[in-house]
Amino acid sequence: MWVLPAFGLVLLGLIPLFLVGGAKAIFNSADGDYIEVVLDPAEPGYVSFVLPTPSHLTLGIDDEGNLSMVAIMSLGPNDIGGALLLLPPKTYVSDGRTIADIYEDGGRKAVEFALGEILTMGFTTTNEMTSGTWQSYIAPVAPVNVVLGDPLHEESGIGQIMVIESSCCAYEGKIVIDVEEIGEFINWGSPEDSGHLRVMRQEDFLNAWIAELATVNDVSAVPGEIDKGFGRMLWGLSRGEVVLVDIPYTLTPEVVTVDLEALREVITEMVPFPTSGSSEERSKVRLLDGVGGLNLAGEYSQGLVKAGGQIVVIGNALQYGMKTQIIYHVATDLEIAEKFKEALGGGGVILEPLTDTAFDITVVIGTDLVDGS
């Protein structure tokens, strides 16, 4: 596991995985799940339906009912490894409110809605973690040895929770967290801190916990189901490498400010195939190779996603040697079609009326984009 800044995030699994042998074979990956409908991916006319990248929102709740953690997770290819981003609850988002304010007013659904609006994506699943929930989850592998990057002082409130060994007044190093201590460790924060130091401590814990789970193969180490929700995310992250994403903050004791555009950029890299948010609908895109042998997922999909697209079909055009085309099927989609043209750097925009389709816009990557002609 390692920490990378926002613009150093390495995309996991950007090359789609196709296996030949069954029209209903399903593949889990950070590029989405591919359901084959044509057996030969090299042939013109081949298409695959794309399911969204698995994404999850976890909210930590302290014993007073206040928001103490905001964690966004995504999984890598075949649910192996992935990415993890934590935001301080005091992060300012919109309308003069922080994430903590939104939670206080409307709970988990309100936070999910607000973040979906800001990040222009939906979460596959969400959950809340109280002290009791944390205890039940870490019990199978407790105690957890955590290497702290944030120095704790003997006089700080955390010292009332557990004994910390130090020869001076600050301690930085390994600390052992048992079941009954985890809630306070996760939730505690200094009144003088805007939450950034608590995020660092939470990252240290999650890093250590996932590393501990990585040493076991028994799925009972994760309570509950591992095929959905938080259990799926936790088990999947422990199966491979995890990118722990760090983004720059502007800090004051009252509020944390982040560059929302930079945050959206990071989320696009973490979740390359998102769903629509709560009310902000993405345009569903059929992305086709008009040349042959192109890496559509790795080289062309991300720009369309950033421009507001949701890739629902990937495949090949009915013939190769085509020019780039952005084909919109309803007149009102002209504006988004022009945005896609700008994102790709070229292409002809064409209206081709269709009704009752699974996609809004068809994008064909042609020879002119590949050759620069």
Q: Looking at residue 97, what is its pLDDT?
A: 93
- Tens digit of pLDDT for each residue in 46-72? 998 888 899 999 999 999 999 999 999
Say whether both 210 and 240 belong to one domain.
yes
Phi, psi of 182 (to 5 degrees): -65, -40
Residue 332 lies in a domain: yes
Are 366 and 289 in contact by the 8 Å Cβ rule? The answer is no
Residues 297 and 254 in one domain: no
Shared-domain flag, residues 224 and 330 = no
User: Which residues lie closer than 8 Å to 299 by C-beta, 6 or more apart?
Assistant: none
Number of domains in the chain: 2
pLDDT of residue 57: 98
What is the rounded CA–CA span in Å between residue 336 and residue 264?
A: 18
What does residue 355 show for φ and ψ, rounded to 5 degrees? -130, 155
d(CA 276, CA 235) in angstroms, rounded, equals 25
Query: Which of 132 and 171 is assigned the larger pLDDT?
Result: 132
Average pLDDT in the chain = 83
Among 172-181, 346-355, 361-370, the minimum mean pLDDT is found in 172-181
Domain endpoint, select from 237, 270, 303: 270
Domain span at residue 238?
A: 55-270
Residue 126 in any domain: the answer is yes
d(CA 264, CA 32): 19
CATH code of 316's domain = 3.30.70.2390
Q: Which carries the bigger pLDDT value, residue 215 or residue 189?
A: 215
Tell whether 72 is covered by a domain. yes
Instruction: Work out the pLDDT band at 173, boundaries 50, 70, 90.
Output: low
Asked whether the CA dihedral 127, 271, 47, 39 is positive or negative, the reply is: negative
pLDDT, tens digit, for every residue of 316-340?
Answer: 999 999 999 999 999 999 999 999 9
Say which DSSP state 92 is in: E
Pairing between β-strand 256-257 and β-strand 97-98 as defined by DSSP bridges: unpaired
Most distant pair of Cα atoms in the chain: their distance: 75
- The answer on 310 and 256 residing in a single domain is no
Tokens of 91: 């992060």
In this prediction, residues 254-281 reach a mean pLDDT of 86
How would residue 175 be classed by pLDDT, with cut points 50, 70 and 90? confident
More confident residue, 10 or 132: 132
Same domain, 243 and 294: no
